[in-house]
Amino acid sequence: MLGVIEIQWWHWPIFLAIILVLLAFDLGVFHRHAHVVRVGEAMRWTTLWVVLALGFALFLRYWRNTEEALEYLTGYVIELSLSMDNVFVIALIFAYFSVPLRFQHRVLFWGILGAMIMRGIMIGLGTALIARFHWVLYVMGAFLVVSGVKMVASPQESVHPEKNPVVRLARRWFRVSTEFDGQRFVSRVNGQRVLTPLALVLLMIETSDLIFALDSIPAIFAVTRRPFIVFTSNVFAILGLRSLYFMLAGAITYFRFLKAGLSVVLVFIGLKMLLGNWLVIPTLISLAVVGGIILISILASVWSTRSKRGHA
C-alpha cells in the first residue's frame, strides 16, 4: 500500500475535471447525434460506469486506506440503490410528456450536471451542520426512518407537473411551446424565444432528483462524514443513472418488491444513525446488509413476476 495521502483542496477540482472530461467525451463523441439508446448499449455503458466506480474504490484503497474505500463503496451502493426508485419516476415523467426516445439521453445528460451541483451544495451544508451541531445526525436518522416507513406505505408513484412549483414558475415567467423542437430546450415561435416541453421535462427531473437526494445524502452520512467520500460516491452513482434508466425503464413490472427493499434500507440506515453512540456497525457489515437487502428484493421481484406469468 502507498503512504496515506492527505486530501487537499486541489484534489476536488482535479476529480471534477476528470468527470467533466468523461461527460464531454460521452456527449460529444458517442452521443453527438440523437438516437434511441437500446438495452445492449445501455448495458455496456452501465458496465463501464460500474467498472470506473470500482476502480476508484481500488484507488482509494491504495491512496488512502481500506476503511475509506469500504465507506465509499457502501455510499455508492446506497446511492445507486436509491437511484433505482428515481429511475421509475423519470420513466413516468418521460411518458407524461411523451418525450421521443431519441431525445431522452440528452435530457438525462443535462440533468446529471444539475444533480452534481445540487448535491455538492447539499453535501457541503450537511457537513458543516454536522460539524457544528452533532444532534443533526439524530434528526437525519429519524428522518430516514420516517421516510422508509412512508415509502413502503405510499401509493403508486405518479407525476403531477401542474403541482410542481418549479414548473409553475417557469410557465408563469416564460412562454412555453406545445411542440418539441428537436433536442432544443429553447426555441423560437413567431420571432419570440420560448421554452420547449423538453425544458419542462428537465425541470421535473431536477426537482425529482432534489427530492430523492433528501433521502440518499443523509443515508451516506450514516456511513461516513468525509465530504470527499460522500461526494465521489454520489457522483459515480449519478453517472450510471442514465444507462441504468435505459436498462430498467422497460422492466418496471419486474421490480414490484424493490420499493419495499429500499424502505428497509432507509430504516436500517436511520437506525444506524440513531443508535450510533450505543451500537457501532462496521462499514463492511453495513455494505453487506444494504447489498443483501437490495439483492433479495430484486430476486423476489423477478421470481414473483415469472411465477405469475407461468400460472397465466
pLDDT band at 312 (very low <50, low <70, confident <90, very high): low
Residue 155's pLDDT band, with cuts at 50, 70 and 90, is low
CA-nearest of 37, 31, 39 to 247 is 39
pTM for this entry: 0.85
Residue of 216, 220, 214 whose CA lies nearest to 70: 220
pLDDT at 158: 63
Q: How far apart are the first and last CA of the chain?
A: 56
For the chain, give the longest Cα–Cα distance. Answer: 67
The residues, ordered by sequence, that sit 6+ positions from 96 with a Cβ below 8 Å of its Cβ are 159, 161
Instruction: Report whether 107 contacts 205 (CB < 8 A).
Output: yes
The whole-number pLDDT of residue 52 equals: 93
CA distance linking residue 212 with residue 203, whole number of Å: 14
> Could you read off the pLDDT of 12-36 as tens digits, one per residue?
889 999 888 888 877 666 666 666 7
The ranges assigned to domains in the chain are 11-311
Mind listing the pLDDT tens digit for each residue in 218-254? 888 888 889 999 999 999 998 888 788 887 766 666 6
pLDDT over 90, % of the chain: 16
CA quadruple 188, 192, 193, 194: dihedral, nearest 10: -80
Give the confidence band of 294 by pLDDT, cuts at 50, 70, 90. confident
> Is the predicted pLDDT of residue 3 greater than 60, yes or no?
no
